[in-house]
Chain A
Amino acid sequence: MSRLFGSREEARALAAERRQVLEALNGGALTGPAVMRRISETSGAAAAPGDESLLYPALHSLEAEWRLTATWQSDAQGKPRRSYRRRRLLGR
């Protein structure tokens, strides 16, 4: 966990977001919006303001801790998009 995430509630919320992100990425590489959609599908809750505020902090902190790898890849339309994949000690 990073050392600068303010209050205990913030840290707890971020930890929960990180768990959800890791679960969402169990299936393979996903972009940020795709991770968000996967989390929404799993929780079944309707989207609300601020819902996505912790998505990128969670993704980037996991990447900084080498638990995720991020790569820029072009999609079908040739648009570069950043996708995340879980880093595993032994490849799948």
Chain B
Amino acid sequence: MIILLGYFGGLAAFLVATVLVVRRSERRLGGYTPRASAASRLETDDPVSAYLDRMTAELRLPAADVAEVRAELADHLADSIASLEGEGLETDGAIREALARLGSADELARQLRAAHQSTRRLLAGVGGGVFAGAGGFVIGYYGGFFLLLLLALVVYAVAAVLSAIGIPLPDLSGGDRTGGTFNSLLLAFSVAIAAGTATRYAVRTSAGLSRHAPRSVAGFWAVALGLGFGAVALFGVRGPQGWPGVAAEACIPVAAVGAALFRIDRPMPHVGRWALVLGLLAIVGSVSVLMLGALAFTTVSSGSSSDQATSYQLPDMHFDTVAPAAPTTWLPNGSLNDGVWSWSDSTGPRLNVSFVAGEGGVPPATVLANWRAIRFEAWHIMPFGNPGPPAVDTQYSSPFAIQPATQEGTDLNATFHFEKMRSAGSWEIFITAIGPDGVRYRLYDCGGGESTFNGSAWDWLTAAQ
């Protein structure tokens, strides 16, 4: 409990600190009303205004700095002119002398720019940019996640209404019953929004703190974060994958580069009280609807448990597509014990099948001696959601994956990595072996399952079919 409180407290403090840093930088970058609009008499005076205009045009600093420098120099010139007039000079002569003492406007602007953009401020800008970028990533990720979730819920609600009133809708799931495609899209787009927010925060904060115009640092951040988020998109975003997910992950570095370069001089949107309230309501609403949905799903599932199980005859299953069944002469009934499965999405199914004493007490070693080249074969079967039996898909004439059986005593083992195969889908695993007559037979049906690809975009792009 204490750890949980510490975690959320720390996260909240980090996000608040991020917002404060970004706001400080935003104040420096724009929206600044110079408090010191001093010497208004002078700013309407042509030579002085022209000098100040030329100097500020060359400054290339954030708006607040430009306004402050201009106001300060206007004040200095007013003071200087007044002082020179006090010494007996005419106004025109005093203005000329005051401007001459300050030197060339271009040179002064260059020196002031160099003074403002010190190494220390540059380092502060880089540090602040990294800090704000990290905070922006967290804010963008959660904000994007709930925004997309809300959008998906609205789409589902509209689809449900249209379906209820009899308007046919196209199946956009692409046959994916596991929800993997939706999850990968949700994850990828959330990270893309986070990447965009992080980059925007980093550019504008580093610009404000280092006293650079946002455009002048945007290129650096676009390259750095474009490469960084490109690596994240390729190797870091892991989970269910598919072409839609990979395409969405390609948007992550694009979002980062776009956020760095597109209208970067425009101020960040101000997050007001009502935006926070609406955001909170969106989160609470999304979570409530999800919880209600989960509750309804549980109720429907438990209510449908009385459905009759359907049994199918062996010929319906097309197991002979794999290989003919092993003759009982060489494989007495009961020689192979039920397989033990250990399973996880990240490691795939691991099978363990044991030879035992078969019908008539034939010892396992005798049965094993009849067989060579024992292997596990994974075959595509009809998708589980389809009507009819989960039969071997007869459009395939060979298994899509083969693992030689690792024999340990009378145990046969094999591990499949369906999570690293693009199109494992619904599958059934069989043990086959070559009998004494040189023909490959089907020894055992280990059962089947359904898998989705699990890994990074790089894993997907380099995976076997």
Contact = CB atoms under 8 A, between A and B. Distances in A.
B418 to A, nearest CB: 57
Contacts of B75: 31-33, 79, 81-82
Interface residues of B, number: 33
A50 B115 contact: no
Interface in A38-86: 47-54, 56-58, 60-61, 64-66, 72, 79-82
A44 B120 CA distance: 35
A50 to B, nearest CB: 5
Contacts of A47: 101
Contact of B36 (A3, A14, A48, A80): A80
A2 B103 contact: no
Nearest to A52: B101
B62 to A, nearest CB: 13
The 3 tightest CB contacts between A and B, nearest first, are A53-B103, A4-B114, A61-B115
Nearest to B120: A65
Contact of A32 (B76, B83, B113, B117): B76
A4 B117 CA distance: 8
Nearest to A47: B101
A57 B115 contact: yes
Contact of B115 (A48, A64, A79): A64
A72 B36 contact: yes
26 contacts: A2-B115, A3-B114, A4-B117, A5-B111, A32-B76, A33-B76, A33-B79, A33-B83, A49-B100, A49-B103, A53-B104, A54-B111, A56-B69, A56-B72, A57-B111, A58-B115, A60-B69, A61-B114, A61-B115, A64-B116, A65-B120, A72-B35, A80-B38, A81-B36, A81-B75, A82-B71
Contact of B102 (A2, A48, A52, A60): A52
B265 interface: no
Interface of A: 2-5, 14, 31-33, 47-54, 56-58, 60-61, 64-66, 72, 79-82
Contacts of B80: 33, 52
B82 to A, nearest CB: 10
Interface string B90-128: 000000010011111001100111111111110000000
Contacts of B97: 49
Interface in B41-100: 68-69, 71-73, 75-76, 79-80, 83, 97, 100
A2 B72 CA distance: 21
Residue in A5, A57, A66, A79 with the greatest tally of chain B CB atoms within 10 Å: A57
Interface of B: 35-36, 38, 68-69, 71-73, 75-76, 79-80, 83, 97, 100-104, 107-108, 111-121, 211
B404 to A, nearest CB: 65
Contacts of B38: 79-81
Contacts of A80: 35-36, 38, 71
B68 to A, nearest CB: 7
Nearest to A57: B111
Contact of B118 (A53, A64, A72): A64
Contacts of B211: 64
Nearest to A33: B79
A50 B104 CA distance: 8
B101 A49 contact: yes
Nearest to B98: A52
A65 B118 contact: yes
Contacts of B100: 49-50
Given A32-B72, A53-B108, A82-B68, A2 B36 contact: no
B167 to A, nearest CB: 65
A33 B81 CA distance: 11
Nearest to B68: A82
Nearest to A3: B119
Given A56-B115, A60-B112, 7 more contacts: A33-B80, A48-B101, A51-B101, A56-B72, A56-B112, A72-B35, A82-B72
